Amino acid sequence: MTQQNDHQAGRRKFLIGMGSAGLAAMTVPILTSAARGAQKIWDHEHEVVIIGSGFAGLAAAIEAKRQGAKDVVVFEKMPVFGGNSAVNGGLYAAPKTPLQKKEGVKDSPEQMISDQMISGRGVADQELLLHVAKHAREALQLTIDAGAEYLPYLQQLGGHSVPRTYQTTVACGAGIVQPLVKESRKLGVQLINRSKFENLIFDDSGRVVGVAILQGYYFGHDQPGKLINVRAKRGVIIATGGFAQNIGLRQAQDPTLTAEVGCTNPKGATGEALLEMFQQGAVPVHLAYIQSGPWASPDEGGFGYVSNYSIYNFPHSAAINCRTGQRFMNEIADRKTRADAELACRDAEGKPLPPILITSYKHAKKHPNCKKVLRYGVGWKFESLKAIAKKFNIPLKALEKQVKQYNDYVRTGKDEQFGKIMEKAKGKYLEAPFTVVRLWPKVHYCQGGVKVNVQAEVINATTWKPIPGLLAAGEVTGGIHGVSRLGSCSIPECMVMGMTAARTIMKG
Amino acid sequence: MTQQNDHQAGRRKFLIGMGSAGLAAMTVPILTSAARGAQKIWDHEHEVVIIGSGFAGLAAAIEAKRQGAKDVVVFEKMPVFGGNSAVNGGLYAAPKTPLQKKEGVKDSPEQMISDQMISGRGVADQELLLHVAKHAREALQLTIDAGAEYLPYLQQLGGHSVPRTYQTTVACGAGIVQPLVKESRKLGVQLINRSKFENLIFDDSGRVVGVAILQGYYFGHDQPGKLINVRAKRGVIIATGGFAQNIGLRQAQDPTLTAEVGCTNPKGATGEALLEMFQQGAVPVHLAYIQSGPWASPDEGGFGYVSNYSIYNFPHSAAINCRTGQRFMNEIADRKTRADAELACRDAEGKPLPPILITSYKHAKKHPNCKKVLRYGVGWKFESLKAIAKKFNIPLKALEKQVKQYNDYVRTGKDEQFGKIMEKAKGKYLEAPFTVVRLWPKVHYCQGGVKVNVQAEVINATTWKPIPGLLAAGEVTGGIHGVSRLGSCSIPECMVMGMTAARTIMKG
């Protein structure tokens, strides 16, 4: 590194003293080291400061406590804790788990990341993936120890070569977030809501030593709030999630993702901390890769009830193009493959014509969401294919022929149309009565973010060294999954990298 | 915009006064407005400051002069002017040109961008593309007025629906850069080399009012240089090109693009100004989309002689997988499609096995580079298919069968293997003697960069408004082309957006 690079890496930081006095008035002098002692700089002081209260933030908080931190604080900008994690699918993939042992599934971290590398189209970060896969079981145990409850059987999600996915009994990420919040509090972590991260504060060596926080923040309201400076004695962990709800930023990457396109994330997923890290020299990675969930329904908002219903049912269901009456994809291909196939389902004028997912009711009803899907009118029960064809204006003969053909694949175990693995469909013929939901992709997950190493340290784009005192974990980081993330691989990533960040900070 | 956002947009700028005194010592006070007058801040003062001397920078300089600017300076960090533009292919696509009229080709800006949108996989910026296409002829004329010379016929490059590409007579971008440099000097533009852009300088309203420049800079050497502050009275235009030679940044996006992978760009394409703009709040767009040129040869460095040779010859040549003796792609598909197909050519152990391009010598020799390709041993002449098969260890019978089949497609005008448009191959059978080159993709172009609007203004990621006084043009900007850029569409983009930046700055 040249002297010049030193200048670049260290310059223009939001230095100590600026936060309290200088935000509005940019002309206030930066305090010199000598002068600093004379002025009150910090409103609060903590050992570990965590921004964001989803899986990654909570895992970091709990692990920091376990590693001996006396004073850990989590700031959350929204009124409720949990962020996008609280409304996600609650699906957790891990190799070599007790359930895999019980079900006789052979698996390994290497096999899991091999599936992920394929879905990532060759540009995933193999080192990070392996780190997560190797620690996924341990992090799963942390959630169980905290009180999370899972269904007693595994699922095999699209793109996974074996069943390795746990599902919370409540079919939602809240089934993990709530126990983690409780456990955090039990351990003495301070959780503070309505507190928006504004910016990092550096000392003059270029180390992150604190954050500016806007207290009394009401999301979506135009109010000044109260700005405080919070010292982070060991460092700051950014765990603020993705930017799927930042319409400008997502549309800059993909002009088709307008405000009208559905999104599974809560409104708060707007990525301000991500942008702040870019402004402090973090490496932008893979922002262009934004994943749409192929299991979502156009008939409800957000993640809704249908998503987990269809994730569970895809292996033994047929997805049908309403215009042709035929299947149009492998129902358990990776997310991008399926989302692209669904988006291609159009009427004669090229307008969206959401395809349907047909499942035998006797199998569909085994998923806890089936009742809700029917009750809230985002899915329907039918006594015959004829009734389905009538409701969705599908050519009946083509549909009947397709279902007969599909049942042949169930019998032979070989899908000759799209090469779907039929193992999980064994014996599960499509038979009346049926349940049906409509499918249309929703913006779900941002593969992009800041670059981190396997210690969860944020890398500087000029020096390629970690930014001292700054760590990040979860969806706010980028590059690990590549072009397309496999389902149920986000929670293990968030949990493991959150724990990793805590371990790094406690060692440092 | 809330008050809070105002803070964000305006904060942590490299304020006036910091550049001269504060780079090394971050604790020096920022000057207040009152104090500023007392200190010498600027070493030099210009009306328009342009960073980078490729197509975009030179077009901006010339256009600024034409719009009445009295004092325009261009800073170039390398010893020679022209950057990557000076070694690129010198291919220029434009609709409704004199050559299209002469050759009876029907075309329009809308048709051109329709081709570009397909190659961009739906995420290109339609508004920017249309702006460029509509002004491409005018900008072409600027190069001709400056003295650029083009071949008297059009080429139809991969992914273009009609012939619309001009080619400099020297088969290189230098055939445009040199006339533009000459024209700039004639108009009184100051061109200063070995001057590395360090950072932007803002006033306390958040407006870019100057740049810090490291003078006496020797690329790749570890030296302090002399740092000067240059005032830009009207504003700054960043035209510094892509980051194909920044191994860390390109590998963060695609781990396979290691230092060992070939690159057509000069060593200086390292993207420092791009990173500086991100640090000042510019929107990172599409950094993940890095294009490899499918026409490059593994037998020479950089862009070399083969690239333009093969671009010219693809329409009437057959690309052959040496392992199978068969074609493996549409030789005029878009760049990404072809690069991916070439990268899939492997030996039995999965190691790269570069495919070959077979052309009839009588057609190949019409391109000015053919002689050089043969002279420098990066291409070879053969009297028979047997000789080719022997040299490259290709199964002879399969090769003979493939060439016979290909010649059938030439006769019928229909490629039944890959759907290649055979119009340009009409009557051009593959016949001995042949010339052959090897193909392997090289990192060529970064689709990603900072987001700009059609006025070439750089957009702030928090406010979504232009950063006052900051414009950017050419490869340093991102999003216009989407996933894959069509060949010969970069020069018109650079020229038009450079001119646009100059017009905006002269109006402002």
Side chain identity, residue B130 = L
Nearest to A11 among B26, B225, B287 (CB): B26
Chain B partners within 8 Å of A3 (Cβ): 222, 224
Q: Which of A455, A466, A449 is nearest to A505 (CA)?
A: A455
pLDDT at B221: 87
- Chain B CA closest to residue A14: B12
B335 is catalytic: yes
Instruction: Please give the structure tokens belonging to residue B186.
Output: 């004639």
Whether A283 contacts chain B with CB within 8 A: yes
Chain A partners within 8 Å of B284 (Cβ): 278, 284, 287
Number of other CB atoms surrounding residue B481 within 10 Å? 29
Whether A461 contacts chain B with CB within 8 A: yes
pLDDT at A508: 80
Nearest to A479 among B23, B222, B252 (CB): B252
- Chain B CA closest to residue A483: B288
Tell me the pLDDT of chain A averaged across its residues: 91
Cβ neighbours for B356, distance < 8 A, ≥ 6 positions apart: B319, B320, B322, B388, B392, B394, B436, B437, B438, B439
Instruction: Please give the structure tokens belonging to residue B97.
Output: 């040109």
pLDDT at A223: 74
Whether B249 contacts chain A with CB within 8 A: yes
Nearest to B2 among A126, A222, A279 (CB): A222
Whether B255 contacts chain A with CB within 8 A: yes
Nearest to B125 among A27, A28, A255 (CB): A255
Q: Do B12 and A12 touch (CB under 8 A)?
A: yes
pLDDT at B222: 78
Q: Which of B354, B502, B500 is nearest to B441 (CA)?
A: B354
Whether A387 contacts chain B with CB within 8 A: no
Q: Do B278 and A278 touch (CB under 8 A)?
A: yes
ipTM associated with this complex:
0.86
- Low-confidence stretches of chain B (pLDDT < 50) are 1-13, 17-38
Q: Give the tens place of pLDDT for each residue, A432-483.
A: 999 999 999 999 999 999 999 999 999 999 999 999 999 999 999 999 999 9
Whether A5 contacts chain B with CB within 8 A: no
Chain A, 424 to 453: residues with Cβ < 8 Å from chain B are 448, 451
Whether A40 contacts chain B with CB within 8 A: no
d(CA B164, CA B115): 12
Whether A67 contacts chain B with CB within 8 A: no
d(CA A73, CA A255): 38
Angle A287-A246-A133 (CA atoms, 0-180°, nearest 5)?
45
Q: Do B4 and A286 touch (CB under 8 A)?
A: no
Chain A, 304 to 323: residues with Cβ < 8 Å from chain B are none
pLDDT at A14: 54
Q: Is B355 helix (H, G, I), strand (E, B) or coil?
A: coil
Q: Please report the DSSP string for B32-74 in residue order.
A: PHHHHTTS---SEEEEEEEE--SHHHHHHHHHHHHTT-S-EEE
| pTM confidence score | 0.89
Q: What is the mean pLDDT of each run of 10 residues along chain A (508 residues)?
A: 30 44 31 43 96 98 98 97 96 98 98 95 95 98 98 94 96 97 98 97 95 94 87 98 97 92 94 98 98 95 93 97 98 92 92 96 95 96 98 98 98 96 94 97 97 98 97 98 96 98 95
Catalytic residue among A234, A323, A327, A335: A335
Q: What is the 3-state secondary structure (H, E, C) of B387-403?
A: HHHHHHCCCHHHHHHHH
Domains detected in chain A: 83-188+241-292+443-507 (3.50.50.60), 295-440 (3.90.700.10)
Whether A373 contacts chain B with CB within 8 A: no
pLDDT at B277: 98
Question: Å from A27 to nearest chain B CA?
Answer: 5
Chain A partners within 8 Å of B15 (Cβ): 26-27
Q: Give the tens place of pLDDT for each residue, B167-205.
A: 999 999 999 999 999 999 999 999 999 999 999 999 999
Which of A222, A287, A346, A481 would you mutate first to test chain B, the one with the most B CBs within 10 A? A287
Question: Å from B28 to nearest chain A CA?
Answer: 7
Whether B31 contacts chain A with CB within 8 A: yes
From residue B34, how far is each of A222, B37, B42, B64, B336 by CA, in Å?
32, 7, 17, 33, 56
Pairing state of beta strands B226-238 and B466-472?
A: parallel
Q: Residues B150, B167: contact at Cβ < 8 Å?
A: yes
Q: Which residue carries 């294919």 as its tokens?
A: A385
d(CA B26, CA B182): 42
